[in-house]
Amino acid sequence: MSPVLQGIITIIIGVGGCVGYFYFANMLLDKVIFPARGVNTGRNINRANQVRPWLFLFPAMFALGVYLVYPVIGSFYRSLFNRSGDEFVGLGNYILLASSPDFRQAFFNNLLWVLIVPASATFLGLLVAQLTDRLRWGNIAKSIIFMPMAISFVGASLIWKFVYAQDPDIGIINAIRASMGGDAIDPMQIPFWNNFFLMVILVWIQTGFAMVILSAALRGIPEETIEAAIIDGANPFQVFFKIKVPQIMGTIVVVWTTITILVLKVFDIVYTMTGGNFGTEILPSYMMDFMFRDDGQATAVAFVIMIVVLPVMIWNIAQARKEMR
Amino acid sequence: MDSIAGRKSGLSWAVNITVVVLVLLWLIPTVGLLVSSFRDRDQISASGWWVAPFSVELTYRTRADAPPVEADGRFTLTGNIFDTAEVRDSFAAGESTITAFGVRAREPGAFPAGQAVDIDDGQTLIVNRDGSYELTSPIPPDDRGPRVYFVADTPPDFTLDNYRTVLTADNMDRAFINTLTVTIPATVIPILIAAFAAYALAWMDFPGRGLLIAMVVGLLVVPLQLALVPLLNLHNQIGIGQSFVGIWLAHTGFGLPLAIYLLRNYMVGLPRDIIESAKVDGATDFQIFTKIILPLSFPALASFAIFQFLWTWNDLLVAKVFLPSAGDAQVMTVKIADDLLGSRGGDWGILATAAFVSIAVPLLVFFSMQRYLVRGLLAGSVK
C-alpha cells in the first residue's frame, strides 16, 4: 500500500476514531451507565460529571504516559544493562561514559553551547526587539530575523555551509578572506573555535524566537514608567537598562531557559556540519553515535541529558503552579 | 517615542543603520542558498553566488575541427572556436569573449587572446577575442583536429536544471511526498486529542487537576532522546517496527504536551460568562466543548497546527529513528543529511536546490500564517 494512501486512511481512522471515541463514550456515560432518569437521576448526573473529565483526558493521558512518561523510566532501566540488554551492569554504562574522553569532550562542548547560545540569542533578540520597536519598517525587519525559525536545522546547516565552505568561490567567509589576501581556511576544522561557528547557526535560528517574545514584553511595559523616567532626565540608554529591562526580567528568564532546553536537544546541526568530528561532539549527537549500536550507552547519555534538564523542569513546574494560584 | 524630547536624530540614524546591518546578516546566508540553487554547476564552482549576475570566466576544451587547407606545404585551419563540435551547445545562446587560450590541460589559459604563438613542431596558433582561430602546421593535423583550451567570459546562466535533477533523478520527489505523508496525520491527530484534554484541564473540576497540569508542564521539556530507545523497542515488540504508523504515533505523543499546554492556556482565558450561561441553559460539557469552546479556540488551534507542522516537517531525529532507513521511506531532512551530503557532498548546486525544496513549504506556511505563529509563541513560551 502506498504511504500516501496509508496516510489518508490514517487521518480518517485517527480523526474518525477520536471523534467516535469522544462522542460515543460520552453518550454511553449519559445514556447507559448513569442515565439521567429514574429514581437516581440526581445522583447519576453527579456521578457522570465526576467521570466525564477522565473520559476527556483518557486518550491524551494514555499517549503521554506511553510516549513520554514510560520512556523516562524505560530509558533509565535500559541504561543499567549492557549492549545487548541481557546482562545487568548497574551503573557500568555511566562509569564507562565518565571515563571516556569523547564523552567528556561532548559534555564540555555542550556546556559551552548552554552558556553561549541562550545568552547570545536572548541578547540579540532583545537588541532587535528594542531597535525595531518604533521603527517604521520594523515589522519587515522582524519578519526577516524571525524567518529562520521556519527552517529546519538541516536546511539551516546547509545554508551555513555556503557561508563556511573552504572554497573561496562558495564560502563567503573565505571569499572575504581571499579579497584581503588571506588563505582559505575550513572553519569547521579549526579546533575549539569550530564549536563557536556551529553555535552561530543556532543563534541565527533562535534570535527570532527571543525577539518575538521580548518584543511583546517590551510593548507590555506601562508607558507611564518610561515617560516618568524621561521627564526625570534619563537618556535612552538609561531608559532601556534601568526602566525597561528590569520590568521584563521575568520574560527574559523564560526565553533564556526555553533556548537552554532546546540547546540540549538539538543534534541536527553538529550531525550535518561535522558529524561530530574535529572535536565538535555534543551530548545529543554523541548519543546518536550509539543509537542502533549500543542501546545501553545510548540510553545512559540520554539520561545524562535528562538530569541536566531536570532543574529547568522543576523550575518550570514551580512557575506554572505559582501562576495558577 | 519619537515625539518625546530627548530622542536625538543621530541616535535614530544609528538605530536604522544597526537594524539594516542585522537584517542583512540574517538574510545573506539564505539568499546565497536561493541564488546558488538557480546557477549552473560550472558557474557555481567558478565564482561565488554574490557575483552571480556578472559573467564568469570558464575554461573549455575543444578541438579545432575545421577542415585543413593546404598551401605552400603548410596546412591551415581557420574557423570559429565557438562553432566547434565539443562546445557548440554551451554557446548556443550567443557569442562570448575569449580572454585566453592554451594547448595543454594544465595551462588552459597560457596565452592571452589575439596573440599568435608557436606551439610544438612548428605549428602556430592564434585565437582571437571573438573566437576566430587560425592554426598552421607543416604536417597534416589528424582528422579530429588538434586540442585547444580556452577561457571565455560566459554570461550568467540561471537554469532550472538543478531543480530538474533534484526532483527527478535524486528521488527527492519521493522524499517530498514522504515528508508530507509524515507531517499531515502527525499534525491533525494530536489536535483533537489535546483539545478535549485541554478543555477538561481548563473548565472541568476534578481532583488532581493541578497535578496533571504540572505534569504536562514538566513533560514539555523532557528530552526526546530519552524516548528513542524504549519506544523503538516497544514498536518492535507490538509489531509496528520502523514504519509510518510508528512515526505518526511518536509525533502525536511528542506533540501533545505543547498542544495541551497551549490550548489550555487559551481556553482558560475564554469568558466564564458564556460557559456558565450555556450550563444554565442545560448544555452538557460535550455540547459546550463542541459548540462553544472549539470554535472560539480557533486561533490557538491554528497556532498549534503551525507549530506541529513546522516541527514535524523539519524534524530529523524522530524520522531517523522511527522510519526505516531504506531509500524509499526517507523524508527530506534524512535524505539531505544522510544521502545527499555524502554522495553529492561537492555538488553545491544540487545541495542548495535540495535544501531549498525542503524549506520552501515551511517558509510559505511561515509567511502566510506568521500572525498565528507569533500568537502561539506568546501563549506557550515555556517550550
Is residue A185 predicted with pLDDT exceeding 60?
Answer: yes
Average pLDDT over residues B189-201: 90
Q: Are A121 and B337 in contact (CB under 8 A)?
A: no
Q: Which of residues 149-178 of B touch A (CB under 8 A)?
A: 177-178
Q: Which residue in chain B has the smallest CA separation from A261?
A: B221
Q: Which residue has the higher pLDDT, B57 or A313?
A: A313
pLDDT of residue A6: 75
Average pLDDT estimate for B192-208: 88
Q: Could you tell me if A229 and A167 lie in one domain?
A: yes
pLDDT bucket at A3, cuts 50 / 70 / 90:
low
How does DSSP assign B5-20, residue by residue? TT--HHHHHHHHHHHH
Asked if residues A49 and B285 have their Cβ atoms less than 8 Å apart, the reply is yes
Distance CA A171, CA A163 (A): 5
User: Most A CBs within 10 Å: which of B40, B226, B361, as the mutation test of the A interface?
Assistant: B226
Interface of B with A in 40-69 (CB under 8 A): 44-50
Show residues of chain B in contact with A13, CB under 8 Å: none
Domain extent for A12: 3-78
End position of a domain, from candidates A54, A78, A102: A78
Q: B213 CA to chain A: closest CA distance, Å?
A: 8
Same domain, yes or no, for A43 and A104? no
Domains: count for chain A: 2
Name the phi and psi angles at B147, rounded to 5: -65, 135
Q: Do A152 and A191 have their domain in common?
A: yes
Here the cell at position A200 is 552561530
pLDDT score of A268 more than 80: yes
Do residues A108 and A196 share a domain? yes
Which pLDDT belongs to residue B1?
Answer: 46
Identify the band that residue B95 occupies on the pLDDT scale cut at 50, 70 and 90.
low
Contact A144 B27 (CB under 8 A): yes
- Residues B339-382: tens digit of each pLDDT: 888 776 678 888 888 888 889 999 998 888 888 888 877 776 54
Chain mean position to CA B106:
36
The percent of residues in chain B predicted with pLDDT above 90, rounded, is 7
Q: What is the mean pLDDT of chain A?
A: 86
Q: Are B217 and A316 in contact (CB under 8 A)?
A: yes
Euclidean distance between CA atoms B155 and A84, whole angstroms: 60
pLDDT of amino acid B380: 60
pLDDT of residue B5: 44
Determine the average pLDDT of the residues in B92-110. 74
Contact B316 A303 (CB under 8 A): no
CA distance B194 to chain A (A): 6
Beta carbons of A298 and A287 less than 8 angstroms apart: yes
Quick check: A59 and B197 CB within 8 A? yes
CATH code (residue A206): 1.10.3720.10
Residues A188 and A106 in one domain: yes
With residues binned 3-state (H G I as helix, E B as strand, rest as coil), the percentages for chain A, rounded to 5, are: 75, 0, 20
- Residue pLDDT, tens place only, B243-277: 888 888 899 999 999 899 888 888 888 888 888 89
Distances (CA, A) of B377 to A128, A208, A253, B28, B307: 17, 11, 15, 26, 9
CB contact under 8 A, B217 and A316: yes
Q: How many Cβ atoms sit within 10 Å of the Cβ of residue A6?
A: 16
What is residue B6's predicted lDDT score, i.e. its pLDDT?
Answer: 47
Same domain, A69 and A100: no
> Cβ B15–A298 below 8 Å, yes or no?
no
Q: Using DSSP, state whether A222 is helix, strand or coil.
A: coil
**CB spacing of B374 vs A168 below 8 angstroms:** no
- Lowest pLDDT segment from A116-120, A138-142, A251-255, B102-106: B102-106
Flag whether A301 is in a domain: yes
CATH class belonging to B163-379? mainly alpha
Same domain, A170 and A111: yes
Of A80-84, A195-199, A244-248, B149-153, which gets the smallest average pLDDT?
B149-153
A residues 84-123 near B, CB within 8 Å?
A: none
Q: Are residues A154 and B256, on separate chains, in Cβ contact within 8 Å?
A: no
A149 and A191 part of one domain: yes
> Where along chain B do its domains lie?
9-51, 56-154, 163-379
In this predicted structure, the answer to whether residue A7 has a pLDDT above a threshold of 90 is: no
B245 touches chain A (CB under 8 A): yes
CA pair distance A273, B306, nearest whole angstrom: 27
- Does residue A125 surpass a pLDDT of 90? yes
pLDDT digit string (tens) for A58-70?
889 999 999 989 9
Render B313-336 in DSSP notation, one character per residue: HH--HHHHHHS--SGGG--HHHII
Whether A89 maps to a domain, the answer reads: no
Among the ranges A160-169, B95-104, B122-131, which has the highest mean pLDDT value?
A160-169
The residues facing B153 across adjacent strands are B57, B97
Identify whether the C-beta of residue B76 lies closer than 8 Å to the C-beta of residue B68. yes
With a CB-CB cutoff of 8 Å, which residues 190-219 of chain A face chain B? Answer: 204, 207, 209, 212-213, 216
Average pLDDT over chain B reads: 82
Residue type, A39: V
In a domain, A187, yes or no: yes
Q: Are residues A11 and A149 in the same domain?
A: no
Touching check for B201 and chain A: CB below 8 Å?
A: yes
Query: What residues pair up with B123 in beta bridges, in sequence order?
Result: B119
- From A46, A78, A110, give the residue that closes a domain: A78
Task: Using CA coordinates, name the residue in chain B closest to A127.
Answer: B19
Final residue of a structural domain among A50, A78, A106: A78
The answer to whether A298 and B228 are in contact (CB under 8 A) is yes
Query: Which of A197-201, A296-300, B22-26, B94-98 is predicted with the least confidence, judged by mean pLDDT?
Result: B94-98
Same domain, A116 and A216: yes
* Top-confidence range, A236-245, B116-125, B135-144: A236-245
Mean pLDDT of the region B299-315: 89
The predicted structure's pLDDT at residue A254: 85
